[in-house]
Amino acid sequence: MKSKKWIYPFVLLVLVIAGCSNANENTNSSKTSDGKSVTMLFSFASKTMDPHQDWMGVRAGVAETLVKIDENLEIEPWLAEEWEMKDPTTWTFKIRDGVTFHDGTPVDGEAVKASFERVLETNEAIASSLKIESMEADGQEITFVTTEEYPAFLSELVHTNASIIKTGTENIDGQPIATGPFKVESFTPEAEVNLERYDDYWDGAAKLEQVKIKFNSDGNVRALALQSGEADIAYHLPPESLAPIESSNNLRVESVPSLRVHFLLFNNATPALQDVNVRKALDLLVNRPVAVDEIMNGYATEAAGPFNPNFAFAGEGKPTSYDPEKAEELLKEAGYKKNADGKMEKDGEVLKLKLATYTGRPELPLLAQYLQGEAASIGVDIEIATIENIDSYLWEQQGEWDMVTYSNLTAPRGDGGYFLNVAYMPEGALNPGQIDIPELSDITEQLNTTADTEERVVLQREAVDIIQQETPHSFLLHPHIIVGVNDRVKDWKPGSEEYYLITNKIDVE
């Protein structure tokens, strides 16, 4: 079954190509008289280097958490070498021997306790997610008691804001004292951070001596800076800017599936969308291979559900196949038939839906336009509304929209419980569509009190099965993290989690 070829204009592509002649085959000479160094361009600017307030502390290799997620998206030791859940509310962690802060002070249980006391005081969101009732330090051990039975506590410790820093120091905003392979030399808010190697790093001194991270929100500017040799690594490049990078002799594109998913969020308050056949019909109208190839230029993975397919709990389901004929059949089962104008109609009312979208992620309006065209081909009217502040709109005007092209991180710390709670529980913080599936809520509540990892995987798979059957969302694709890299950069690749950008392993020729 063929879909219509759908093409959208590549804005700025001609400008990008024109600005990138063979003269841009330069090699960045970020090897200074002081030794090896790298310059990275990043998309989201940091106003502070305080690891308890911003992600850049961990991303820049300045700060570290007790545990982390590895390349297989599984939790592994970091500053804590081992841990034990002594009962449903009590967790004990053993801090590695030999870890020091950047000023040489040893890191022990008391230092970790002080760091957590500070983050609980200064970051309300993290305090809420950690649910810590009390802490006790004893030598290299720290014990946490949570306010309730909380198996997800371990995965929440992966959050970058749960970093360990030395408290009571001056200028934590600009030069935090932490435990990573690099320390902050200078920081200009929303502009750049300059890093220097911490020679006594517990896991071995970094191969680089200096790192510069510059912030720029324009993806095409980041791409041009990579091509001109001003940067060695450029994050979050637009798909339409990649042609000159891919054809370069000394640059490469690294692409990995993100922990994010782009999807259609259905409003359960819309009478038509309360019928699962209507939701499934709309799900069948998206040709995911076309969306991946033509909207994302191949830099995406088709989605079968909410979670990155590399997760063990992602489920066994396959992405929905494009099938407009079956979509028409399901609409007929839902009581719709085409009127004289070729429009789907039921009880004298044409099936017309309002689809909200937003430009913060440029591909989402394109996905909305694509769906609008496919729906029109079977007689369904979709009106597109581009909204500036999408989250406020969805919550404050719940009666004004029927669908939205949306995007969320679904397992940002390696566990699906987060998304199941916020997106599907009736009171969930990411449930403006008012989804309420009792069977799914029951499984989520059971998951919330289950500590065994294998049992959690089983429960999450069961939840995904229900989601695929009920179609409260239509999952479209997992966008890739697209990074341009100079070939002189060695022993480095981006991770799906986007937490650990600068490490002690990265090297340059």
Please indicate whether residue 367 or residue 316 has the higher confidence score (pLDDT).
367
Task: For residue 221, give the amino acid letter.
Answer: V
Quick one: average pLDDT of 363-386? Answer: 96
Residue 28: pLDDT band with limits 50, 70, 90? very low
Phi-psi region of 204 (alpha: psi -120 to 50; beta: other; left: phi over 0): left
Least confident of 286-295, 446-455, 497-506: 446-455
Do the beta carbons of residue 164 and residue 66 sit within 8 Å?
yes
Query: For residue 240, what pLDDT is reported?
Result: 84
Region 24-39: what's the mean pLDDT?
A: 60
Q: What is the pLDDT of residue 19?
A: 41
Average pLDDT over residues 414-428: 91
Query: What is the band of 34 on the pLDDT scale with cuts at 50, 70, 90?
Result: low
Looking at residue 360, what is its pLDDT?
77
pLDDT at 164 over 90: yes
241 vs 227: CA distance, rounded Å: 11
- Above 60 in pLDDT, residue 5? no
pLDDT number for residue 316: 87
Euclidean distance between CA atoms 485 and 112, whole angstroms: 36
pTM reported for the whole predicted model = 0.78
State the chain's mean pLDDT as an integer. Answer: 91
pLDDT at 389: 86
Contact 229, 28 (CB under 8 A): yes
Q: Please state the rounded mean pLDDT for residues 440-467.
A: 94
Query: What local confidence, expressed as pLDDT, does residue 218 receive?
Result: 87
| Pairwise pLDDT comparison (195 vs 411), residue with the higher score | 195
User: Does 232 have pLDDT greater than 60?
Assistant: yes
Q: What burial class does residue 41 get, using C-beta atoms within 10 Å of its C-beta: 0-12 exposed, 13-18 middle, 19+ buried? A: buried
Q: What percent of the chain has pLDDT over 70?
A: 93
Q: Please give the pLDDT value at position 186.
A: 98
pLDDT over 90, % of the chain: 79
Segment 329-345 shows an average pLDDT of: 96
Burial of 65 (0-12, 13-18, 19+ CB in 10 A): buried
For residue 352, give Cα distances in angstroms to 26, 277, 399, 433. 54, 16, 14, 17
